[in-house]
Amino acid sequence: MKNFIVTTTRKPDPATESFAQEISSRLGGRLVERADNSFDALRKIYGAENILLVKKNSLSVVTAEGELFFHPNTAHLRIKNLRGGEGDRLIDALKISDGSKVLDCTLGLGSDAIVESFVAGANGKVVALEINPLIAEIVRHGLKNFSEDSPHILDAMRRVEVLNVDCEKFLASCADNSFDAVYFDPMFRRPIQKSSGLNPIRPLADASPLTEEIIREARRVAKFRVVMKEHSGSAEFARLGFKILGGGKYSSVAFGVIDKGYGLL
């Protein structure tokens, strides 16, 4: 990962200072005094690419693309739609319901994981993996502490378990059939620029393509289904053995599925 420093707002209270200290020693980024410096000045002084900014009740990363912070984004509207009886393309693809156990291998900003968690409910489980430590930290903190939403959405957020780990490693450690569904939303091979919701994570996110080995492991770990989201027309679906689902006729994204028992393991 590119180097980063940890700092606070200009006049931090003692709790913010000690949280910054804790996070700096846990993640390994150098803790620097903000003083009256702009972010550009801090970058120059310390030769750092990214700045992990600790505020009173939230965390963000300042990157070359702007400030990355946690927000439920589309999850709010999607859950509202689900509660109103409408469908959700991801949930339909995963075929999950109350009590399901889901492994979300690509947490990102966590919107999909929140929707999965809402559907899986308190009897289910969503484990979400993120390879980048700064993204994992910000989203884990946001899922735990964000408070400006309805109780059913906050409950769904609180239930997501975030792990900072490469999904390939984690999958290798899982027992056969240990999750009902396994989901991948990798950085698209061809980014859709207008999906500006993801733009601030681009400088941090791992954009490596999924490997056949990862998908083979996902098929072993999933009891029923493996799902991947990619841009419509992506060659990744065929390369990795996914069957593209219909629907979303006018959408730039598509979902592919591998059902257990479909194709060779």
Ligand X SMILES: C[S@@+](CC[C@H](N)C(=O)[O-])C[C@H]1O[C@@H](n2cnc3c(N)ncnc32)[C@H](O)[C@@H]1O
How many residues does this entry show for the chain? 265
For position 205 contacting ligand X by CB under 6 A, the verdict is yes
# residues near ligand X by CB under 6 A: 23
Q: Which of 12, 29, 72, 108 binds ligand X (CB under 6 A)?
A: 108
| Interaction residues for ligand X, span 149-178 (CB under 6 A) | 166-168
Q: How far is CA 104 from CA 60, 110, 151, in A?
A: 22, 9, 23
For position 138 contacting ligand X by CB under 6 A, the verdict is no
For position 106 contacting ligand X by CB under 6 A, the verdict is yes
Q: How far apart are CA 104 and CA 115, in angstroms?
A: 11
The minimum distance between CB 239 and ligand X, in angstroms, equals: 16
Q: Give whichever of 121 and 203 is closer to ligand X, judged by the CB atom.
A: 203
The minimum distance between CB 1 and ligand X, in angstroms, equals: 10
Q: Give whichever of 135 and 226 is closer to ligand X, judged by the CB atom.
A: 135
For position 94 contacting ligand X by CB under 6 A, the verdict is no
Q: Could you give the 3-state DSSP secondary structure of residue 81?
A: helix
The token duo for 88 is: 């959700």
Q: Per CB under 6 A, which region of 22-30, 60-68, 129-137, 171-179 contacts ligand X?
A: 129-137
Q: How far apart are CA 110 and CA 209, in angstroms?
A: 20
Give the DSSP letter string of 188-240: PSS--TT-GGGGGGTTTS--PPP-HHHHHHHHHHEEEEEEEEEETT-THHHHH
Helix extents (H) in 146-200: 151-159, 167-172
Measure the CA dihedral 84/88/91/94, to 10°: 150
Q: Which of 42, 61, 120, 131 binds ligand X (CB under 6 A)?
A: 131
The minimum distance between CB 162 and ligand X, in angstroms, equals: 11
The residues binding ligand X (CB under 6 A) are: 105-106, 108-112, 129-132, 135, 166-168, 185-187, 198, 201, 205-206, 208
